[in-house]
Amino acid sequence: MSTPPKPMWFDPQFRAKTDDLRAAIKKLGDLLTVHELTNGLRERTRKLPDKKKFYLAVEALACNLLLLKATGSHSKLAVPRSHGFIWRKGRNSNPVYGQHFLDAIDLMASLQLIHKGRKGYRFSAKSKLASLIAPADHLSHYLPLAPPDWRSVHLIDDPALIILKEGKDEDGHAAAIDYKETSRTKLMAGQVRRINRYLRDADIEIINSSGVSIGKDGQIVAPYRRSLRRIFNNANWQHGGRLAGGFWMSMKRTERGRIRIDGEPVIDVDYDQLFPRLAYVWARAEQPEDDIYNVTGVDGSRAGWKKLMNAMLFSDGPLKNWPKETLKHFPKGTKLRKVVDALRQKHKPIAPLFGTGLGFKLMRFESDMLIAVITPLFQEGITALPLHDAVLVAKSRAPLAKEAMQAEFQLRTGSSCAIVSIKVNPN
């Protein structure tokens, strides 16, 4: 039996861009409203504020379904239905969600405009499955789906630019939590808002593509998906802080060669071995002169040592199992304890830092540094797409980006040990 394709995750920030699509969505909303009243599914007409929310939910659903159709895949749309998500309060709430959102889904299903697939459910304390829906053929009578034009949709900024999350569940997802706004959170939100302004006006496109696709993370890959958020982890402002939300983050590295900035191919400019080198800075120890990840010098094992070392920097306590996708890089029969001991022996100066969860603090340092790098680049007219410990820039701008990254590392650490490399993306 073949494995079903990964779903596309619903994004509440998609809106209609063209007058034609807005008119079609308005008629769809009218159809759903009449249907629920004439069939006794609702006793009275919604009050104006509730009506606006209902039509907003219909618009977001319609845009997501149009984009799903435009991918040409057999994937379904994963939509939230959990009580904690739909009725979330505070700064992490979104006007698209609420009972009106669930009503819109149920009404579209009752008119056979969508197919309801798997209904989401929780099967452990931390793990759950999302609910799935898909456009039915009948929906094309009300939305321009033959063919769907992904350019008729656009993305608006997330209402929450700074997000504080709990620890991850078994699926790697973490719920956003509310927080008290301070001068510091306002400052960080302002930084992201300025970056989004620069990105909105930047000349960025994807070539050799007839439409949109679903990225490795289930998000749409489209050139207008460039509004960023900053996400902190483990309910701790000193953990994480990476920028997220850009379409380039959803693409596989082998696909990024299709990105063009100002008409030029993009280049990866990244910090090599950043986290372990930051750990050496943290420990106030002399930096190794050789490749930190090349522990034994055995061909083919470097990727395994890299995964293992970073897992040990992020873990809170000793590793009990092999990190995901790590064992395959070592000879058959290799014991976890043996390689952990070898890594500790190779990197004695930072061995006490393993198992302390330091990686999340290093990630905060990394994210602060990347924001400090890209902001002045934008001010100089250089578009730089942040990607964790790297930036994507037009080929001709790579030397300037490299210089900026080296300078920022030395400014923040007092060390000149940063290794910044320029890597060409495959076309």
For the segment 266-286, what is each residue's pLDDT rounded down to a tens digit? 999 999 999 999 999 999 999
Q: Are 401 and 377 a contacting pair, CB within 8 Å?
A: yes
Neighbours of 252 (CB within 10 A): 9
Our CA angle for 160, 60, 191, nearest 5°, is 20
Q: Are 374 and 195 a contacting pair, CB within 8 Å?
A: yes
The predicted pLDDT at position 208 comes to: 81
Q: Are 150 and 16 a contacting pair, CB within 8 Å?
A: no
Average pLDDT over the chain reads 91
What is the CB-side half-sphere exposure of residue 317 using CA atoms within 13 A? 2
**Strand locations in 215-333, DSSP E?**
220-221, 229-232, 240-244, 259-261, 264-272
Percentage of the chain beyond pLDDT 70 is 94
The predicted pLDDT at position 250 comes to: 96
Write down the pTM of the prediction. Answer: 0.90
* pLDDT beyond 90 at 137: yes
The larger pLDDT score, comparing residue 300 to residue 191, is at: 191
- What radius of gyration, in Å, describes the C-alpha atoms of the chain? 24
* Helix/strand/coil for 8: strand
Grade residue 259 by pLDDT with cuts at 50, 70 and 90. Answer: very high
- Beta pairing class for 162-165 and 229-232: parallel
**Strand locations in 273-401, DSSP E?**
384-387, 390-394
The predicted pLDDT at position 124 comes to: 38
Of the given ranges (81-85, 122-126, 155-159, 162-166), which has the lowest mean pLDDT? 122-126
**Strand locations in 68-182, DSSP E?**
77-79, 114-116, 121-122, 128-129, 131-135, 153-155, 162-165, 176-177
Neighbouring residues of 117: CB distance < 8 A, sequence distance ≥ 6: 76, 131, 132, 133, 134
* pLDDT beyond 80 at 3: no
